[in-house]
Amino acid sequence: MHKIFDSKQELATYFGEYLLNKTKEKPDLNIALSGGSTPKVIFEVLARDFEKSIDWTKIRFFWGDERCVLPTNPESNFGMTREHLFDHVKTRAINIFRVKGELDPQEAVKAYSATINDNVPHVNHIPQFDIMLLGMGDDGHTASIFPHQIKLWDSNNICELAQHPETGQVRVSLTGKVINNSKEIIFLVTGANKAEKVDEIFNKKNNYQQYPAALVNMNKATWLLDKEAAESL
Ligand code: 6PG
């Protein structure tokens, strides 16, 4: 399913209402956040318009992927979330389960896998997040599973170490089995540079299954798109 919005702000407001309703249905939501630039706008709208209406202390925050950097590094997804959301709403520190990007990457992936195993309920013997937030890169990657490492999607592990194809940046990423085991998956995709891949994935064009984003269970996924990203649909 997909919904198209005239602006990122409208998309963010829709997501805020969705999250508010989810927190009313289930007070201790386990959510895996996406990173990159799109969530910044979403988090700013959530902080501005949903600070009081959502009980942020009840949400348990995880990440779908994280760069192996210090939490204070501008590249950090946790750092971005803290700047644009956590610094503006009342959360509970014990409900924030960040990837320890400051550790040696092998240690970070082991520690985060243990954190998820210990704190996220299992269904089908796999951790099940209530909400999985995903973005999509203009190369069709999602979380930090990139096309050149698409085999990581099918890993039997909860998390894998991945590498950005251009920068070589090492990242910790959830794998396909955890992503597709989520109760609900929400794609937040904005910008004209995503339109081609959105079209290819939605219309099963060309070699669309080379894109990790195309391997996400479409029956569970709701794509929230701005009109630029949806211009070819
Ligand atoms: C990350 C993300 C990544 C992101 C896409 C889209 O750590 O970068 O998790 O998967 O969602 O790259 O990023 P934008 O929304 O910034 O285009």
Which of 45, 46, 35 lies closest to 174, judged by CA?
35
Residue whose CA is closest, atom 12 of ligand 1?
137
Q: How far is CA 148 from CA 37, 145, 151, 206, in A?
A: 22, 8, 8, 17
Q: How far is CA 8 from CA 32, 41, 84, 135, in A?
A: 20, 7, 15, 13
Q: How far is CA 10 from CA 14, 17, 61, 133, in A?
A: 6, 11, 23, 17
Asked whether the beta carbons of 2 and 202 are under 8 A apart, the reply is yes
pLDDT tens digits in sequence order for the chain, 233 residues long? 999 999 999 999 999 999 999 999 998 999 999 999 999 999 999 999 999 999 999 999 999 999 999 999 999 999 999 999 999 999 999 999 999 999 999 999 999 999 999 999 999 999 999 999 999 999 999 999 999 999 999 999 999 999 999 999 999 999 999 999 999 999 999 999 999 999 999 999 999 999 999 999 999 999 999 999 999 99
Ligand 1 centroid from CA 34, angstroms:
7
Ligand 1 centroid from CA 35, angstroms:
5
Alpha carbon of residue 151 to chain centroid: 19
Q: How far is CA 154 from CA 32, 55, 149, 177, 231, in A?
A: 19, 35, 10, 7, 31
Q: Which atom of ligand 1 is nearest to the CA of 142?
A: 10
β-bridge mates for residue 32, sequence order: 62, 132
- Please report the domains of the chain, with CATH numbers, ordered by start residue: 2-226 (3.40.50.1360)
Ligand 1 contacts (CB < 6 A) are 34-38, 64-65, 77, 135-137, 141-144
Q: Which atom of ligand 1 is nearest to the CA of 64?
A: 9
DSSP state of 83: I
* Alpha-helical regions (H) of the chain: 8-25, 38-49, 77-81, 105-119, 176-179, 195-202
Q: What is the dihedral of CA 90, 95, 100, 101, to 10 degrees?
A: -50
Counting other chains too, the contacts that 75-84 makes at CB distance below 8 Å and 24 or more residues apart are 75/169, 76/101, 77/33, 77/34, 77/35, 77/36, 80/35, 80/39, 80/40, 80/43, 81/33, 81/35, 81/39, 81/43, 84/39, 84/40, 84/43, 84/44, 84/47
Cα separation, 106 vs 62, in Å, equals 19
